[in-house]
Chains A and B, each alone.
Chain A
Amino acid sequence: MATERPLSPHLQVYRWQITMTMSILHRVTGVAITFGAFGLAWWLVALAEGGAQYAHAAAIVASPIGMLLLFGFSLALVYHLLNGVRHLLWDMGWGFDIPETYRSGWTVLVLTVVFTAAIWFVVLRGHP
């Protein structure tokens, strides 16, 4: 697409900052969770159907690919939730300073790993 207009500098001219990565990750995880929500709907319908339908769904969930998708879903969900709280705090006018956005960004990343690990620790440890 040829254009005569002067264009503003694009992404590649900027030094990497955590904020840009967090921002695009929020979108990517949001889209991923949307697909995951349909997975949840599919699982609920199978649960309602019961019998062979549920056995089939449970087998898919417990398969290696199912577990991998579930892990990715949980990681994306935890990230999007925590970064969503960061966005809501911004909406209330909190944490707009550059050092604060960097600090809250790293906090979200660390907590994402911690919470996701905690979830899977409980899942894989099984019931006491």
Chain B
Amino acid sequence: MSNIGTGGAPARTPREDYRTPLKLARGLGSGKSGVGHWWTQRVTAVVLVLLVPWLVGLLVSLVGTDLQTARFAIAKPWNAIPLAAFVIAAFWHAKLGMQVVIEDYVHTRWIEITLQLLVIFACAIGALASLYALGHIAMTVATLTH
């Protein structure tokens, strides 16, 4: 060290901000969530790989049935619960995917932020509306059959 024996602080340019560069990086970008986005996309993908074939089978089995039959089938716990899981995983996965597409292709900042907010709100509303509908169907069918 060149400043040993000089009795003074190491020579450096005065700076406004005494926080270290690491401090400025923490909490921003991938430093905030790490591989969280990547991992959550994979976890929801695995859930959907399992649930989508089942869902397709359920929907195909409902083709040509009337309202009551469809409601009765969906109200069954072994259908209602996986359907609720599907809706949560699907809209979460959709949000993560749409986020990346917007990040990649939309480079006008205010449009990008607006679209990101729209995706978050729309996916939240889609999931909540689906869960409300599932709950409503499950509850009302249960009331009618008891």
Contact = CB atoms under 8 A, between A and B. Distances in A.
A5 to B, nearest CB: 15
A33 B56 CA distance: 13
Contacts, number: 79
A60 to B, nearest CB: 15
A88 B46 contact: yes
Interface string A85-128: 10110010000000000000000000000000001001100110
* Main secondary structure on B side of the interface with A: helix
A90 to B, nearest CB: 11
Give the size category of B's interface with A: 20 to 34
Interface residues of A, number: 29
22 contacts: A27-B97, A30-B97, A31-B101, A34-B98, A34-B123, A44-B74, A44-B130, A44-B134, A45-B129, A45-B133, A47-B71, A48-B132, A48-B137, A48-B140, A58-B67, A77-B52, A81-B53, A84-B48, A88-B42, A88-B46, A122-B60, A127-B63
